[in-house]
Structure 1
């Protein structure tokens, strides 16, 4: 299968490496002036992995899009709308778009497949999401994991799962696109909260954070029309080890450094997703106490200690 991966950061480069590894014809495409693309063009190598010579590296988006059967997009979620405005100047009919990023659009509260749907006819250009746990640092060592592909198009979903499945990544067929997207985005917010607990020396509370965070996200998924059980699957709870505990988790690391007053230089999607989730929660009438606490700490200069205390002094209620 001819696949073009648009975006060549940490996860985008890993996807290109993986899809080439299992036998697909892969093009890795990025923005011309992006440092990560320039590094791959010069050395076929980045901080995480080395591309084999079989992967074509380019900044020619027209070439990458026109030759592809499947277009995988792996960029910052908040830039997706602008990016779609750029790539829809090329003919996307008959191609499959796979979104490999996790977020909710902050300005609208839309899921990312909805953003893509603002630009393409999804009957002609089906859209899928690829979500779940895993880090490039583990995959390149041959450490396996499980992930999910979901789409409203059953035929496309099945095709992708069977084409992408291997001994390194076992794919499951998602059954709830709404839940898969919201759950995958929300785990980054919970990851920031986990990092804040680490930074505050309260790591032992992360067990409670996992349980209550999942319950909070389940309520949001249900209110949005999805299946609340999705929050307990690979897209959300299944991704917690990689997000709440891993030293490689950008969101966990961001939260830890934020509490310590240090600056984190890399992308932490959960920052803007906390704003987007609050917007969505307000639209749907869902109380999101953990998300609200993270948002207030990040954007309203609220005290982390006070926000944490407020969570523990909420009114007594039944667990479920």
Structure 2
């Protein structure tokens, strides 16, 4: 299978490395002038991995799209709409729409709260049915041969089965998810819970992570159900299954950012912590669907409005008594 990966950062380079490892012909695209692409062209390496020599590197977007049967998009979630519009302006939108598209980002669009598959439908047409690839794991662990389970979710069962068969290996066991809505919302929202976990670490309250996980899943189940998805999806690989990698791992950008917020060392770190943007998007969904999201709202107040983390988190955990099922 010919696979093109669009985006050559940490995850994009990993997806190219992995696709080649499981037997596919791979092209990796990066923007002209990209520091990541320049480094890969000179050394075939970045701080995480070494690319095999037969992975073709290019800055020609048309070449990457036209050569592929499957296109993996691995860029910043908030850049997806602008990227697709740029691609369409080059006359490549129709061609991309004929390929199988896999989105390898976790996020919701700020300002609208829209899922990334919805962004694809709006920019490429409703006949295009992207698949999302999400779940636990870190590049640093995968390249050391540490296996994990992930999920491919989409609206077309047969396409999912074919992709699971084509991409599965002893390193990544894929499950296929048929609740695309719940998978996307869950994958995005777990980054917000990761921010809260990092704040608890920074405050020395790590023992509260158990309560955070229990209540975090509860509020997301309510949201997904209100949106028309299957709330049980939140207990799967896209959300709860990704908690270890997001709430506890030293590699988690979201956990590290939350900890840095408490310690006053966050700086521009938010640019790689997708949970910062997702917290804002979740507030739009909370209002639209009338669902109370106390953890997400607390994180939003801290990272967007600069509220005191200790005060906000203590208010969160000392809220009025209610049934655990609420």
User: Fold conserved (TM > 0.5)?
Assistant: yes
The partner residue of 1:270 within 275, 291, 303 is 275
Residues 145-190 of structure 1 show CA distances to partners (whole Å, capped at 9, x for unaligned) of: 0000011122211111111111100000102100000000000000
By how many angstroms is 1:303 displaced?
A: 1.1
Aligned residue for 1:102? 106
Residues 176-222 of structure 1 show CA distances to partners (whole Å, capped at 9, x for unaligned) of: 10000000000000001100111111111111111111111111111
Residue 173 in 1 paired to residue 173 in 2? no
The partner residue of 2:232 within 229, 242, 245 is 229
Aligned residue for 2:247? 244
Two-structure CA RMSD over aligned residues (Å):
1.0
Q: For the residues of structure 2 that align with 1:18 and 1:93, how far apart are their CA atoms? A: 24
Q: For the residues of structure 1 that align with 2:203 and 2:10, how far apart are their CA atoms? A: 28
By how many angstroms is 1:264 displaced?
A: 5.3
Mapping 1:139-178, distance limit 5 Å:
139-178=142-181
Q: For the residues of structure 2 that align with 1:199 and 1:12, how far apart are their CA atoms? A: 30
Do the aligned partners of residues 19 and 122 (structure 1) sit closer, same or farther apart at CA in structure 2, a change above 3 Å counting?
Answer: farther
Residue 299 in 1 paired to residue 304 in 2? yes
Q: For the residues of structure 1 that align with 2:66 and 2:58, how far apart are their CA atoms? A: 13
SS of 1:293 mapped into structure 2: helix
Contact 2:131 2:152 in 1 (8 A): yes
Note the residue ranges of structure 2 that are not aligned, 5 or more in a row: none
TM-score by length of 1: 0.98
Contact 1:243 1:252 in 2 (8 A): yes
Residue 182 in 1 paired to residue 185 in 2? yes
Judge which range, 29-38 or 94-103, deviates more: 29-38
Contact 1:102 1:131 in 2 (8 A): yes
Q: For the residues of structure 2 that align with 1:204 and 1:36, how far apart are their CA atoms? A: 38
Tell me the number of residue pairs that the alignment of Structure 1 and Structure 2 aligns: 319
By how many angstroms is 1:31 displaced?
A: 1.2
Residue 202 in 1 paired to residue 198 in 2? no
Contact 1:126 1:156 in 2 (8 A): no
Mapping 1:57-72, distance limit 5 Å:
57-72=57-72
Aligned residue for 2:219? 216
Contact 1:258 1:264 in 2 (8 A): no
SS of 1:119 mapped into structure 2: helix
By how many angstroms is 1:122 displaced?
A: 4.4
Contact 1:73 1:97 in 2 (8 A): yes
Residue 113 in 1 paired to residue 117 in 2? yes
Contact 1:41 1:58 in 2 (8 A): no
Aligned residue for 2:6? 6
Note the residue ranges of structure 1 that are not aligned, 5 or more in a row: none
Please identify runs of 4+ aligned residues in structure 1 that moved more than 4 A: none
Q: For the residues of structure 2 that align with 1:236 and 1:275, how far apart are their CA atoms? A: 18
Residue 315 in 1 paired to residue 315 in 2? no
